[in-house]
Amino acid sequence: MRSMSVSIRAASEVDDALVAAFARLIPQLSSSSPPPSASDLLAIVDNPNSVLFVAEVDGEVVGSLTLAFYRIPTGLKAWIEDVVVDDAARGKGVGEALNQAAIAEARKRGAKNVSLTSRSSREAANRLYQRLGFTPYETNLYRYSLGD
Ligand SMILES: CC(C)(COP(=O)(O)OP(=O)(O)OC[C@H]1O[C@@H](n2cnc3c(N)ncnc32)[C@H](O)[C@@H]1OP(=O)(O)O)[C@@H](O)C(=O)NCCC(=O)NCCS
């Protein structure tokens, strides 16, 4: 099954098919976040500090992740966010291929490491990240809510 032909690309434009793909994918990632609009997606695609990777099988988008960069005094930070693969395409290496593409891009841009977070209840995701070589990084993650 892992031989299924998956192609990974960085989205460079936003069309109706991409918006429809995110309308399918985002509810499988978050029950509280609405799917992005075309202009939300365009803001990511047009931002030089972020890369919207999509995975395609037979020309259809079946998964995505966003790689975000920012510069701070200690270096270039790279974060993988919003990793999701369509339920029907899981368990075939699509998530792995997306993450490998993001890691390669982060290396190319000179980041020293790539970070991500994943709740421990996300068992498939945690297994995948550890299999790829991500290791737990002990820190307290704080969040200050600004309401909605
Ligand atoms: C996490 C996720 C992106 C993985 O995508 P994927 O394409 O299935 O990833 P892979 O096939 O490369 O590997 C996933 C692992 O889960 C297993 N798996 C996931 N779904 C499976 C399914 N439906 N059937 C069988 N195995 C499955 C895979 O066999 C693999 O296990 P392994 O690492 O022990 O080999 C996907 O499960 C998903 O979108 N989950 C919901 C959203 C989510 O949790 N996102 C991560 C946020 S941090």
**What's the confidence (pLDDT) of residue 4?**
76
Mean pLDDT rounded to a whole number for the chain? 96
Residue 126 covered by a domain: yes
Atom nearest to 84 CA in ligand 1: 39
Residue 54 covered by a domain: yes
Task: Decide if 117 contacts 138 (C-beta within 8 A).
Answer: no
Atom nearest to 127 CA in ligand 1: 33
**What's the confidence (pLDDT) of residue 119?**
95
Residue 143 covered by a domain: no
Q: How far is the CA of 120 from the centre of ligand 1 (A)?
A: 14
**What's the confidence (pLDDT) of residue 107?**
98
Q: How far is the CA of 42 from the centre of ligand 1 (A)?
A: 27
Q: Is the CB of 115 under 6 A from ligand 1?
A: no
Q: Is the CB of 84 under 6 A from ligand 1?
A: yes
Residue 18 covered by a domain: yes
3-state SS string over the chain?
CCCCCCEEEECCCCCHHHHHHHHHHHHHCCCCCCCCCHHHHHHHHCCCCEEEEEEEECCEEEEEEEEEEEEECCEEEEEEEEEEECHHHCCCCHHHHHHHHHHHHHHHHCCCCCECCCCCCCHHHHHHHHHHCCCCCCCCCCCCCCCC
**What's the confidence (pLDDT) of residue 147?**
85
pTM of the model: 0.94
Domain span at residue 56?
7-132
Tell me how far apart the alpha carbons of residues 46 and 52 are, in angstroms, rounded to a whole number: 10
Atom nearest to 82 CA in ligand 1: 47
Q: How far is the CA of 125 from the centre of ligand 1 (A)?
A: 6
Low-confidence residues of the chain: pLDDT under 50: 1
CATH number of the CATH domain containing 110: 3.40.630.30
CA-nearest of 60, 68, 104, 105 to 85 is 60
Domain count, the chain: 1
**What's the confidence (pLDDT) of residue 148?**
67
